[in-house]
Structure formats: structure tokens, C-alpha cells
Amino acid sequence: MAMSWSHTVLYVKDTEKMLDFYTRVMGFHITDRGMIGNRTSEIIFLSQDPNEHHQIGMLPVRKDVGASNSVAHIAFRIEGLTELRGLITALRGESIEMRPTSHGNTWSIYFQDPEQNGIEVFCDTPWHVSQPAGKLWDMDADDATLMAWTKQEFEGEPGFEARDAFHKRLAETLN
């Protein structure tokens, strides 16, 4: 059985604040919304993928405040550094604290949404590195500098190799 990620449903406290963040800052679109169950709870569906009705669902039933204690974070893969830099600019405009972490195989930005749910947005590097691995990277470095820094920082780590070679071997193992 092959599975692929489809969606996550978040319990939210302040629906409008969360919808504003996920639509305006993160670029999601509301695809549907309506009452569920006993018809006293609304669910809102959001997506960026035309092949997914929703990637995020929001149920405004959260009572507590503070960081979520059920999920460490949800992660989104994006196309490349250009898109990641666009998100960094948007998050800076919102004064959101970010933790830029390269895992050798990704350049990731970790941050929290308005209700302190953990989020990771990342793009792939050309390499694979055995995990866990992580080092802070300079969000203002240009692409060539970041590429050279990443290779220098991780090429001595276990499992360092071309991303394509790792995925070819993984595909052979999983099939």
C-alpha cells in the first residue's frame, strides 16, 4: 500500500486570525466551508493544490492557548529557494520569528502560526545526508553562497551523497 500525504486538520481558537494568516501569508485558498456533525461546528477547508480539495482543515473548537502539544509541526515542501525566499520576506513582514535550519538534504524554515502550531516549509538541496542532522543557515545568503556553504558543512556527514543516488536506492528498497 502506497500512501501520500493529503491533509492536516487543526483545532483553532481564533478562526479569522488563522484564516488571515494561512490565506494572506501562506498563500492558501478557502476551497469549502460548512457545518459538520451536530451542526454547531463549522469546518473550513484550504488548499494550494488543485488536485487536493484541502491540505488544511480548520475546526474552531480549540479551548486552550499556547503551543500545540499533540503535533511537533506540519511540513510543506516548496519548489525551490526563490519560493522559500518569498515566504521569508512575507514572514518578516509579519514579524514572525523563524529558525532557518538546513538538514543537509533541505533548507528549512521553522516557525509558528498565530496559534503556535509548528510549521516547517522547506525546499530540497541536491544532496542527501543521513538524519538527524541540522545546522542554522543564513537566510540572506545568495544561492551560490548557500549552495557552497551547505556542501562544505555537510559533505563530511554520514550518508552524504547526491540526492538522486539516494532516491534511486530507496526506490529499489521500497519496491
CB-based contacts of 163: which residues, under 8 Å, 6+ apart?
Answer: 105, 124, 125, 126, 127, 128
My answer on whether 79 and 52 are in the same domain is no
How far apart are the C-alpha atoms of 40 and 132, rounded to whole Å? 43
Residue predicted with more confidence, 67 or 156? 156
* Last residue in a domain, options 10, 36, 65: 65
In tens, the pLDDT along 161-174 reads: 999 999 998 888 88
Residue 6's CATH number: 3.10.180.10
Domain that holds residue 118: 67-175
* Last residue in a domain, options 65, 86, 119: 65
**Mean pLDDT, residues 92-101:** 97
- What pLDDT does 62 receive? 85
How far apart are the C-alpha atoms of 70 and 62, rounded to whole Å? 12
- What pLDDT does 163 receive? 95
How far apart are the C-alpha atoms of 17 and 9, rounded to whole Å? 16
In tens, the pLDDT along 138-166 reads: 999 999 999 999 999 999 999 999 999 99
How far apart are the C-alpha atoms of 55 and 31, rounded to whole Å? 10
How far apart are the C-alpha atoms of 4 and 19, rounded to whole Å? 25
Residue 67 pLDDT > 50, yes or no?
A: yes
Residue 75's CATH number: 3.10.180
My answer on whether 112 and 158 are in the same domain is yes
- What pLDDT does 36 receive? 83
My answer on whether 4 and 28 are in the same domain is yes
Residue 23 pLDDT > 80, yes or no?
A: yes
- What pLDDT does 170 receive? 86
My answer on whether 75 and 11 are in the same domain is no
- What pLDDT does 1 receive? 46
* Last residue in a domain, options 23, 44, 65: 65
My answer on whether 84 and 170 are in the same domain is yes
My answer on whether 61 and 71 are in the same domain is no
My answer on whether 20 and 86 are in the same domain is no
How far apart are the C-alpha atoms of 173 and 132, rounded to whole Å? 20
Residue 19 pLDDT > 50, yes or no?
A: yes
**Mean pLDDT, residues 82-96:** 96
Helical spans, DSSP H, in 45-162: 81-93, 143-154
My answer on whether 60 and 96 are in the same domain is no
My answer on whether 75 and 57 are in the same domain is no
Number of domain units in the chain? 2
My answer on whether 110 and 75 are in the same domain is yes
* Residue 100 banded pLDDT, cuts 50, 70, 90: very high
Percent of the chain whose pLDDT exceeds 90: 75
My answer on whether 77 and 14 are in the same domain is no
My answer on whether 93 and 175 are in the same domain is yes
* Residue at grid coordinates 488548499: 47
- What pLDDT does 63 receive? 84
